[in-house]
């Protein structure tokens, strides 16, 4: 739960994160998503600007329910992630707000962020193990991250996730939305924040499944770069993740590696890494158009795993072997 109270009669069944505003009769969380995915003209016509948020979940609250909003507060005011952690590990606002502050320094961009220590403990196994390791980072309250995937863009979304339980696209940032989700996905894998990783993938799936023509064009324009980024920073093997290279930082993954998923087929059944699967599926869907793009063809020829994954989805879309016209060389 993010903003809305799940048992409220006005709880949005679309995003399942917010309640319907009684002023505009729209879900503000869904409205933000539509703003990001669709064109501004579409947004102005279909979803007028609502400068207020009017709703109160108290009328639908059972007695004795500890998750109810504070008296006199709307769900927007009371449920902006004051729990501070993922749904599986609830935490009282007072607990994390009174914890120590840890500074995270991004060496590549020379930027430093401050965040509550208890949130890092609850959301990231990587930070938890580092701060409990007794190393200088834990004593000084300063952690330095120096990999290429440790970007301010990804970390700021991670901070939004820690405090609010979601992240939103900043329409002022002139950055392709699919690139944002890919950056967050890889960073979440790096710091072992599985809830954020799943959320970023869900956001990317929403973008890629959009029927909005502007969104489709935007996705296809950035697709080659996104494919290269994801395939270079993920593994085709289950249980293997981001290759962090040579680093003097402890890697909790060596001790807390995810167990292989037994529900997936043993033989090759397409990409087993979720974001790879998404990108390969989108590529196969728009293959006729993408074949004309030199940047896509370059990526296709340089990444053998991607070429195999695309071929898998092309074959899945036909009743038999892929037709010759669909095979890329």
pLDDT, tens digit (0-9, with 9 covering 90-100), for 80-104:
444 444 444 555 566 667 788 999 9
For range 241-263, the mean pLDDT: 41
pLDDT for the residue numbered 19: 78
Domain boundaries, the chain: 1-80, 82-188, 210-247+269-329
Indicate if the pLDDT at residue 300 is higher than 60. Answer: yes
Q: Which of 111, 123, 141, 278 is nearest to 132 (CA)?
A: 141
Residue 275: which pLDDT band, with cuts at 50, 70 and 90? very high
pLDDT for the residue numbered 287: 93
Q: Which of 4, 34, 1 is nearest to 19 (CA)?
A: 4
**Which strand (E) or helix (H) includes residue 101?**
strand 101-106
The average confidence (pLDDT) of the chain is: 74
Global pTM reads 0.66
Residue 7: which pLDDT band, with cuts at 50, 70 and 90? low
Indicate if the pLDDT at residue 64 is higher than 70. Answer: no
For range 270-283, the mean pLDDT: 89
What is the rounded distance in angstroms from the CA atom of residue 142 to the CA atom of residue 139?
A: 8
> At residue 123, what are phi and psi to the nearest 5 degrees?
-100, -30
CATH topology of domain 82-188: Potassium Channel Kv1.1; Chain A (3.30.710)
pLDDT for the residue numbered 53: 58
Q: Cα angle at 136 between 130 and 138, to 5 degrees?
A: 45
Tell me the per-residue pLDDT of 149-205, one tens digit each, with 9 for 90 and over.
999 999 999 999 988 888 888 766 678 899 999 999 999 999 999 999 999 999 999
Tell me the per-residue pLDDT of 26-60, one tens digit each, with 9 for 90 and over.
787 776 554 444 444 333 334 556 656 566 555 54
pLDDT for the residue numbered 59: 52
Alpha-carbon dihedral 306, 148, 195, 111, rounded to 10 degrees: -160
Indicate if the pLDDT at residue 136 is higher than 90. Answer: no
């Amino acid at each position: 739960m993010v903003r809305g109270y799940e048992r409220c009669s006005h709880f949005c069944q679309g995003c399942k994160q917010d309640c319907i505003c009684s002023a505009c009769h729209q879900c503000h969380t869904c409205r933000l998503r539509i703003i990001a995915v669709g064109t501004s003209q579409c947004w102005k016509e279909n979803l007028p600007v609502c400068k207020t948020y009017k709703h109160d979940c108290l009328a639908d609250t059972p007695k004795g329910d500890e998750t109810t909003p504070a008296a006199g507060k709307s769900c927007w005011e009371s449920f902006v992630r004051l729990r501070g952690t993922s749904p599986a590990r609830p935490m009282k606002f007072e607990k994390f707000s009174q914890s120590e502050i840890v500074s995270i320094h991004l060496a590549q961009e020379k930027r430093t962020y401050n965040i509550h220590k208890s949130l890092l403990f609850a959301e990231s196994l990587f930070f938890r193990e580092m701060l409990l390791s007794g190393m200088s980072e834990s004593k000084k309250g300063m952690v330095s991250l120096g990999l290429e995937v440790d970007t301010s863009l990804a970390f700021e979304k991670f901070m939004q996730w820690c405090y609010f339980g979601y992240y939103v696209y900043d329409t002022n940032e002139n950055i392709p939305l699919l690139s944002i989700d890919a950056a967050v996905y890889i960073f979440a894998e790096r710091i072992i924040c599985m809830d954020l990783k799943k959320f970023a993938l869900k956001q990317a799936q929403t973008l890629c499944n959009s029927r909005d023509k502007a969104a489709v064009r935007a996705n296809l324009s950035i697709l080659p770069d996104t494919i290269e980024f994801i395939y270079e920073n993920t593994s085709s093997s289950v249980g293997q993740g981001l290759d962090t290279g040579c680093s003097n930082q402890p890697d909790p993954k060596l001790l807390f590696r995810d167990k292989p998923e037994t529900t997936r087929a043993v033989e090759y059944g397409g990409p087993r890494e979720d974001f790879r699967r998404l990108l390969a599926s989108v590529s196969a869907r728009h293959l006729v158009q993408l074949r004309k793009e030199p940047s896509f063809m370059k990526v296709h020829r340089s990444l053998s795993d991607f070429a195999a994954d695309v071929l898998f989805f092309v074959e899945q879309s036909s009743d038999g072997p892929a037709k010759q016209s669909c095979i890329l060389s």
